[in-house]
Amino acid sequence: MDFSARQIADFLKGEVEGDPDATVRDISRIEEGKAGTLAFLANPKYEKHLYTTGATIVLVNMDFKPSKPVSCTLVRVEDAYQAIASLLELKEQMKPVPSGIDAKAHIDPSVKTGKNVYVGQFSVISAGSVIGDGVLIHPQVFIGENVVIGANTVLRAGVKIYGDCRIGEECHIHSGVVIGSDGFGFAPQSDKNYKKIPQVGNVVIEDRVEIGANTTIDRAMMGSTIIRRGVKLDNLIQVAHNVEIGENTVIAAQSGIAGSTKVGANCMVGGQVGIIGHLNIAEGVRIAAQSGVGISVDEKNAVIQGSPAFMYGKYQRSYVVFKKLPELYQKLAQLEKEIDDLKGGR
């Protein structure tokens, strides 16, 4: 379906600069733009592509001033990044939504399902579970006993949810996610073996949470592992037993949080971050990629980096020094040699 620059500007409450009747039918990256596509420019370092792109329409910020002539039509908006997100959401909503329960799915007779639920091939919903209105359960999903899934949540193919877990409304859980597997609880014995500690709690995921592919969230030993509303977890993240992640916190791929740590609301955690157990991370803390957090962070909105992690400003100043350590070592060795030579010449 084609959309004109005028229609796009009206939808985004923007302004057209160029041909208002220019039309597009797809979206592209600005550096790969082709005729008939719409691109966007939000990051200034991509500006050079604006002057060579083949895209027909490009979204830019209201205050953007091109440094060269532009051949494409511009649609000026308050925030180009937010605008492209709105258009991508609209495009996603236009896709056909699957419906009905496949004959090859297995649903226990005791399961309660709401209206407009979709269950794909070879999915299993176990006894006592409750599935809300508009839930989409794609093929090969396993849902254990007494699980509750809120309205309009999407479970992508291959998701596994162990028994007694609670999933909120409007969540999006991607393929390969495992929710409610046993926490890593083992008690050392006198014979140097380890005795497994039963994990009898569950996982509670509140509303509007998104969980990336192959992420795992362990059930609590007792009580609940809790993911608060609005949290966004990337792919390949490990959340251990009894962890609590605060509202609207975002965590990038390959990060891991050990047991019983509490992460505050509105935190930002970079990729490959490791956080040990039984810590408290204050609200609004930002943790740079590949950091290792070994102590609690009590200061709200702190920015930390390094392994072990400490305050970002101090880390940057320290980095200036320790990256020069090989040179300093050579100078020190040379000074020691000169001192030894002077002593030997007495």
The CATH superfamily label for domain 3-93 reads MurE/MurF, N-terminal domain (3.40.1390.10)
| Averaged pLDDT, 192-197 | 94
CATH architecture assignment, domain 100-316 = 3 Solenoid (2.160)
Instruction: State the DSSP code for 330.
Output: H
Which pLDDT value is given to residue 345? 61
Residue 338's pLDDT band (boundaries 50, 70, 90)?
Answer: confident
Residue 340: pLDDT band (50, 70, 90) is confident
pLDDT surpasses 80 at 28 = yes
Sign of CA dihedral 189, 191, 193, 198: negative
Beta-carbon contacts of 120 under 8 Å, excluding residues fewer than 6 positions away, are 98, 102, 105, 137, 138, 139, 140, 141, 157
Percentage of the residues of the chain whose pLDDT score is greater than 70: 99
Pick from 274, 236, 280, 278: which is nearest to 259 by CA? Answer: 278
Please write the tens of the pLDDT for every residue from 78-110: 999 999 999 999 888 888 889 999 999 999 999
Model pTM score = 0.87
Give me the catalytic one of 138, 172, 241, 278. Answer: 241
Show contacts of 253-257: CB within 8 Å, 24+ apart: 253/212
The arithmetic mean of pLDDT across residues 43-66, rounded, is 96
Provide the pLDDT for residue 79. Answer: 97
Spatial distance between the Cα atoms of 7 and 23, rounded to a whole number of angstroms: 9
What is the rounded average pLDDT of the residues 168-180? 98
The SS3 of residue 297 is strand
Written as six digits, the tokens of 206 are 């509140």
pLDDT band of residue 197 (cuts 50, 70, 90) is very high
Q: How far is CA 191 from CA 44, 82, 195, 196, 198, in A?
A: 62, 59, 11, 14, 20
DSSP 8-state class, residue 67? S
Q: Cα–Cα distance between 215 and 171 in angstroms, integer?
A: 14
Catalytic residue at 241?
yes
Listed residue (296, 260, 275) closest to 184, CA to CA: 260
Residue 179: which residues within 8 A CB-CB, separation 6 or more? 159, 160, 161, 162, 165, 167, 173, 203, 205, 211, 216, 217
pLDDT of residue 346: 59
Binned at pLDDT 50, 70 and 90, residue 57 comes out as: very high
| Domain ranges (residues) in the chain | 3-93, 100-316
